[in-house]
Amino acid sequence: MGSPFFSVADTGPGIPAEEMDRVFDPFYRVLGSNVSGSGLGLSIVKTLVESAGGTVSLKNLNTGKNTGLCVTVSFQGVQK
């Protein structure tokens, strides 16, 4: 049996590769994104998931004309 996980994807601009690790910092926002928010969302998600023994990973999607970001939360070693 595999480990439980879930993924959430959007159709936004994605995140530049050099910014991937920084987006988990509280209040960090990618410059020039023109998106509202406080920069706390991914920081909160990572804190909660890691406190439960899981991991969070990010991947930019480039599928033809669509772009976006896929966030995957997984819990290795946890039985379904």
The structure tokens listed for 32 are 């020039």
Task: Report yes or no on 52 lying in a domain.
Answer: yes
Task: Report yes or no on 16 lying in a domain.
Answer: yes
Q: What burial letters (b/e) apply to 35-67, b meaning 16+ CB within 10 Å?
A: eeeeeeebbeebeeeeeeebebebeeeeeeeee
Task: Report yes or no on 69 lying in a domain.
Answer: yes
Task: Report yes or no on 39 lying in a domain.
Answer: yes
- The total number of structural domains in the chain stands at 1
Q: What pLDDT score does 66 carry? A: 66
pLDDT digits (tens, 9 = 90+) for 27-76: 988 776 666 778 889 999 999 999 999 999 999 998 666 689 999 999 98
- Angle in degrees, CA 19, 50, 48, rounded to 5: 90
CATH code: domain of residue 28: 3.30.565.10
Predicted structure pTM score: 0.80
Task: Report yes or no on 80 lying in a domain.
Answer: no
The range of the structural domain enclosing residue 11 comes to 5-74
